[in-house]
Amino acid sequence: MAGVEQEQTRSEKPSEPWVIGVDLGGTKIAVGAVNRQGQVLARTVLPTPVSDGPQSVLAAIAEGMRQIAAGQSTPPAAVGLASPGPMDNKTGVAVAAANVGWYDFPVSGPLQSRFGWPIYLENDANAAALGEWAFGAGRGVENLIYVTISTGIGMGAVLHGRLYQGSHFTAGEAGHMVLVPDGPLCTCGERGCWEALASGTAITREAREAVARHPESLLAALAGGDPLRVSVAQVGEAVRRGDPVAQEVWERAVHYLEIGFTNLANLFDPDLFVVGGGVTNLSDLFLGRVEGYINAHANPGMRGRLKMVRAGLGSDSGVLGAAAVAWQGLPSESWVEQARQEAV
């Protein structure tokens, strides 16, 4: 694709079955070749040409797929594509991927026509859940709930070894559970949603308001006295240094995390919660506390048995999640067991 800057790495050409994982974001498209064990055999990263329109984004994805396939000795068994927003895998249509301007936009059909490979679409949080279950922190469990806490709050559920998508491919929108009626306005248009109370965006908003009220605080000093420069990382630093203004902001957010995760525990009774997203850079300040709260306040039948860990796939999470979607879409359902046995 002319004019597209690229970053690419390759390993040895695989002779075993492999798939392509595509992680579509608003600024970049990460594409990788992935085997059954969750090893990324080759990568390429291209910018997302959002300003050039939906078709240009699809063309950039196709170029990334072409680059990866050209470096391998055999064609991929399938392609998994993960993107924010609901994805209809039955029709191959992106229902609403606002970050790239896709609304009821055909994805699988055009790509399959060009390459001839099976294409499987999935929401990015759902894909990340499946990736963690198959390749990451959730290996070996049957029921897993993945929650990402960053700009918003997203969720994916793997139940009895299968990704749960819902009747309209929108299952897992836990960030829009209403915890405080008439609370802060959420991006979805409702008030008091979980992500309006405990996401990175919510923490930043509350911290900026607190700095405006308390310019003498350590948090204000860390931001150079400018409320608009306050970040979640600064809130964490101020909390560790004992700043009462930052601590009040943080305590409020963590309490809403406790309530939200306890609701999910009561709904799903999982073996494990896996937590990802940028706010997990402060995981030492909340994971243990939230796990303890859940085990004290969830349904008595599960108390003391629920675990919470930080996501384990790191920077490859998006590609590996998309690859897991591709593997699970194939007719054989034994790939996870094979991968786990071969990884031992």
**Domains of the chain: total:** 2
Reading the block at residue 274, the tokens are 């896996």
- Shared domain for 304 and 330, answered yes or no, is no
- Shared domain for 172 and 282, answered yes or no, is yes
Q: Over the chain, what is the mean pLDDT?
A: 91
- Shared domain for 116 and 192, answered yes or no, is no
2: in domain:
no
- Shared domain for 161 and 294, answered yes or no, is yes
Residue 181, class by beta-carbon neighbours within 10 Å (0-12 exposed, 13-18 middle, 19+ buried)? exposed
Chain centroid to Cα 246, Å, comes to 27
pLDDT tens by residue, 116-175: 999 999 999 999 999 999 999 999 899 999 999 999 999 999 999 889 988 887 888 899
- Shared domain for 157 and 305, answered yes or no, is yes
pLDDT at 281 over 60: yes
CATH code for the domain in which residue 171 is found: 3.30.420.40
Domain that holds residue 256: 141-310
- Shared domain for 156 and 251, answered yes or no, is yes
- Shared domain for 271 and 178, answered yes or no, is yes
pLDDT tens by residue, 226-262: 999 999 999 999 999 999 999 999 999 999 999 999 9
Reading the block at residue 165, the tokens are 């998508």
Chain centroid to Cα 149, Å, comes to 8
Would you say the pTM of this structure is higher than 0.75? yes
9: in domain:
no
- Shared domain for 152 and 293, answered yes or no, is yes
- Tell me the backbone φ, ψ of residue 35, rounded to 5 degrees: -90, -175
